[in-house]
Amino acid sequence: MELQVTQENINKAFSSVSRVASSRGTLPILSNVLVKTTGNRLSISATNLDIAVTHYIGSKVKNEGSITIPAKLTHDFISSLPTGVVDIKLNDNKLYINTEKFESVINGISSDEFPVMPTINNGKEWHIPSKKLKTSLGQVIGSASSDESRPVLTGVYIYSSENNLFIVATDSYRLAEKTVQEVENEINVLVPASAMQELLRILGDYSGEVVIISDEQQILFKVGEIELVARLIEGSYPDYKKLIPQKFETTAIVKKEDFVNITKVSSLFARESAGSVNIQLNSEDNTISIHSIASQLGENTATADAKIKGQGSITLNSRYILDALSACEGEEIEFSFNGKLEPCVIRNPKKKDYLHIIMPLKS
């Protein structure tokens, strides 16, 4: 293998893939990246067996070849080089990397020992604008569970219903649902949240369309010159639609900024009670108030003006409220529930494409 690339391009490629390379796995080879020529392009690939990322970059290829090299060392080294042309040559499992003022040799391991990078043939294909996908994932991914004892809940559920594409995540204490766009394909996939976190990083400032292809076992996201393949989670997602109330006895429409402020203040007094705060809606004076108690330190009540329908109170986790508010778009928030033991719904009253459900705490 012999080729020339620019430092900017190869550094960007290592930045994209090196996070996936695992230094804690049982297979030492997984801490390496696969460097391989493909036609007139160079591909840099990494995998942890659940996620695989490949970044393609243009290059002047004189001789083709492939090798695996340590991900962290090479990334740190490449990022330290000055901008300009980088000459790369492979000889006897040693990769020679030279610039105008740097000459380095990195010992590699034969690419034959690297896991075969996954591919998808004859899968379903659909497209999503990158900005829309990034926004949607950002709104739901925080609600996915990290508890591996319930693998289904550690995933992000992407499915179609009545020609609409939905992205959903829940940890059984809260749930976020985003209606993304219209689709023609029938889609039903459960993607690990860890893969979606990696996809969010890859999306970055990319402004084009994301091509998505899935089969029964894997899903592929093409983001420009970067490809991410993830193994799907097996199992059926809970029928979460049953959780969403169709009507509400108690509703408040409040400025998002006010809701955030009173929740933040109240959360300071709720630390010893695992974030538990009591929310009271009062239709007589049109206020929403949040009360919290710290037995050793004191207590706090914070109030904001709101348009109230009905009357009642509910106890929630203040961190979940703040997470939901940060995910909601718009200047106003609709906050609704049907009694202190029923789930509450937080959403934008004017834009119904996103909702966030929080389960109550026993007060």
Higher pLDDT among residues 275 and 332, named by residue = 332
Report the pLDDT averaged over residues 208-212: 96
Task: pLDDT band for 152, please (50, 70, 90 cuts).
Answer: very high
Report the pLDDT averaged over residues 152-171: 96
Helices 7-17 and 71-80: angle between axes, nearest 10 degrees: 150
Report the pLDDT averaged over residues 176-191: 94
Neighbouring C-alpha atoms within 13 Å toward the C-beta of 350: 7
Q: What is the pLDDT of residue 23?
A: 66
Q: What is the pLDDT of residue 39?
A: 86
Higher pLDDT among residues 296 and 261, named by residue = 261
Average pLDDT in the chain: 94
Q: What is the pLDDT of residue 294?
A: 83
Closest to 328 in 3D by CA, of 240, 252, 259, 246:
259
pLDDT at 24 over 90: no
Report the pLDDT averaged over residues 155-170: 96
Task: pLDDT band for 117, please (50, 70, 90 cuts).
Answer: confident
* pLDDT tens sequence across 336-362: 999 899 999 999 999 989 999 999 998
State what percent of residues in the chain have pLDDT above 70: 99
Closest to 270 in 3D by CA, of 363, 345, 333:
363
Q: What is the pLDDT of residue 219?
A: 97
HEC per residue, 41-65 = EEEEEEECCCEEEEEEEECEEEECC
CB 164 within 8 A of CB 353: no
Which residue in the block uniquely carries the two structure tokens 């243009």? 58
The string over 303-322, giving b where at least 16 C-beta atoms fall within 10 Å of a residue's C-beta and e elsewhere, is ebebebeeebbbbbbbebbb
Amino acid at 124: K
Q: What is the pLDDT of residue 343?
A: 95
* pLDDT tens sequence across 240-251: 998 898 899 999
- Domain 124-242 and domain 244-358 have a common topology: yes
Q: What is the pLDDT of residue 281?
A: 96
HEC per residue, the chain = CEEEEEHHHHHHHHHHHCCCCCCCCCCHHHHEEEEEEECCEEEEEEECCCEEEEEEEECEEEECCEEEEEHHHHHHHHHHCCCCEEEEEEECCEEEEECCCCEEEEECECHHHCCCCCCCCCCEEEEEEHHHHHHHHHHHHHHCCCCCCCHHHHEEEEEEECCEEEEEEECCCEEEEEEEEECCCCCEEEEEHHHHHHHHHHHCCCCCEEEEEECCCEEEEEECCEEEEEECCCCCCCCHHHHCCCCCCEEEEEEHHHHHHHHHHHHHCCHHHCCEEEEEEECCCCEEEEEEEECCCEEEEEEEECEEECCEEEEEEHHHHHHHHHHCCCCEEEEEECCCCCCEEEEECCEEEEEEEECCCCC
CB 87 within 8 A of CB 97: yes
What are the structure tokens assigned to 332, written together? Answer: 């106003």
Neighbouring C-alpha atoms within 13 Å toward the C-beta of 190: 14
In sequence order, the 6+-apart residues with CB closer than 8 A to the CB of 135 are none
Query: What is d(CA 163, CA 327) in angstroms, rounded to the nearest whole number?
Result: 24
Q: What is the pLDDT of residue 362?
A: 81
Q: What is the pLDDT of residue 54?
A: 97
CATH of 2-113, one of 3.30.70.360, 3.10.150.10, 3.30.160.40, 3.40.309.10: 3.10.150.10
Report the pLDDT averaged over residues 95-110: 94
Give the angle 202-205-209 at the CA atoms, nearest 5°: 75
CB 257 within 8 A of CB 287: no
Domain 244-358 has CATH 3.40.1190.20: no
Task: pLDDT band for 121, please (50, 70, 90 cuts).
Answer: confident
Domain extents in the chain: 2-113, 124-242, 244-358
**β-pairing verdict for 94-98 and 85-91:** antiparallel
Task: Give CA separation, 42 vs 68, 120, 196, in Å.
Answer: 13, 21, 25
* pLDDT tens sequence across 275-323: 899 999 999 999 999 999 887 788 899 999 999 999 999 999 999 999 9
Give the angle 187-327-334 at the CA atoms, nearest 5°: 100
Q: What is the pLDDT of residue 25?
A: 67
Query: What is d(CA 337, CA 358) in angstroms, rounded to the nearest whole number?
Result: 10
pLDDT at 271 over 90: no
State what percent of residues in the chain have pLDDT above 90: 85
Report the pLDDT averaged over residues 112-138: 92
Q: What is the pLDDT of residue 213?
A: 96
Q: What is the CATH number of domain 124-242?
A: 3.10.150.10
Q: What is the pLDDT of residue 270?
A: 87
Q: What is the pTM of this model?
A: 0.92
Report the pLDDT averaged over residues 214-242: 95
Q: What is the pLDDT of residue 363?
A: 63
Q: What is the pLDDT of residue 118?
A: 86
